[in-house]
Amino acid sequence: MMDAIVKSTAGPGLELQQVPVPKPGPGEVLIKIHKTAICGTDAHIDNGDPWAQQHIKPPMTIGHEYVGEIAELGAGVTGLHVGQRVSGEGHITCHRCRNCHSGNIQWCKDTVGVGVDRDGAFAEYVCIPQTNVISIDESLPEDVVAFFDAFGNATHTALMFPLIGEDVLITGAGPIGIIAAGICKFAGARRVIITDLNDYRLDLARKMGVDAAVNTAREDLHEVMHQQGLTEGFDVGLEMSGSAQAFHQMISVMRNGGKISLLGLGSKPIEVDMNTIIWKGLTLQGIYGRKMDNWHQMSYMVQGGLDLTPVITHRFHYTDFEKGFAAMNKQMKAALEFLNMPGIRFALKHARGPLSSHGQDTVEFLISTNPGEDPKPLAKIASGGELSRIMLAFKSALADRDALPTVIYDEIDSGVSGLAAGRIGQLLHQTAKGHQVLCITHTPQVAAFADNQLLIQKNVRNDRTFTEIHT
């Protein structure tokens, strides 16, 4: 028997269990695991979200990023030996279809995923076909090899188009986007600029050598482009976020004839401005998984001096796996707030002029019910005015979407009076009961209301206060 991290039920959570050691069949290899890495897919499985409930068939050992050594060879395996240091390609393919025959296994329509469709590597041993075993040179650090699967996604995306002397935009500073930034600089890009909404991840990207890390919630990308000497737009784009807003911004800042690699998966279909793509003559290439040659490129880049250690943020013993997943989920949650959250975005904007003849200061209320969509005007009221019609509209929006637990209050600018802020606190309290609320505000009165009434967690980012509350 062996220890394994198992998805035992369809709901949230994982369990450390004793399970049988797999026995390699003909053409298979048993690998003793040394180190593993947590992928975003693993976090989805841990959380038991709709994707995981659709794809994962419990009980199953999860995990697909690892390094280890060969423990046993199945019948007919040649060219490998016990004790050899190895990793493994996580997509097991059919070897019969046209794509497999032409060497494009990443497009095999019958792919089986290790740790998704069959037992994975969050265990003392994993068993995979010989054709998926990747020999790992002893000079490569195991901490880095453990996440070669993700490194491969970044390599495939970044090296899809020539980079020498080019200006590159990366949208999405998740682990793969950050790794891709390092690859682009290593491969000779002139300028590499990365965008995100998460300052923690943008700081990691700076450690990987990007020329600029831009928080688009408060920084102007066009101004940064000007500062970096870009005159016609970006030559190459790497879309890593799955965000509609990030994708649309990328399309708008590409030079004519630019090329875009698309890796990020959206939470829902994204509308595409075909006219702009055609007029600009853009090339868009979808990226999935890794090419087998990416494994060689990864090893050679690390041996050639590409340092990926800045992207390693935590280390845990496997018996503390829950701490590892908690850290992973914390960063995933921060990355998703607040543009792609499935919920209602309710915004407040200080109006540019009086609404009434009395010259009262006014505020404008905006609402969005689709993730990633900019909020649209709902109504305007005087700061000292009553909120009944706004509350009614807000209640109606919530009532129509009971399945969406999140309400996002985003105070777009800081010109909101204390009286209006106090009424906003009342509005949130009275109309958002039973919903999780993310409150983004410049105004001390709103922050104080959240602190006194409903506070769960609060972080200060420059002049904005991010407060997550439950009502």
Which residues are catalytically annotated? Answer: 41, 44
C-alpha separations of 195 from 229, 238, 251, 372, 415 in Å: 17, 11, 14, 15, 27
Displacement of CA 371 from its chain's centroid (Å): 15
Q: Is the dihedral of CA 44, 45, 47, 49 positive or negative?
A: positive
Residues near 264 by Cβ (< 8 Å), separated by ≥ 6? 171, 172, 239, 240, 241, 242, 243, 246, 247
3-state secondary structure 258-312: EEEEECCCCCCCCCCCHHHHHHHCCEEEECCCCCHHHHHHHHHHHHCCCCCHHHC
Distance from C-alpha of 1 to C-alpha of 186, rounded to nearest angstrom: 44
CB count in 10 Å sphere of residue 268 = 11
Alpha carbons within 13 A on the beta-carbon side of 359: 0
Tell me which residue of 224, 225, 245 sits closest to 234, measured CA to CA. Answer: 225
- Residue in this structure with the two tokens 């009286």, named with its chain if needed: 419
Displacement of CA 84 from its chain's centroid (Å): 34
Residues near 181 by Cβ (< 8 Å), separated by ≥ 6? 170, 173, 192, 194, 205, 208, 209, 210
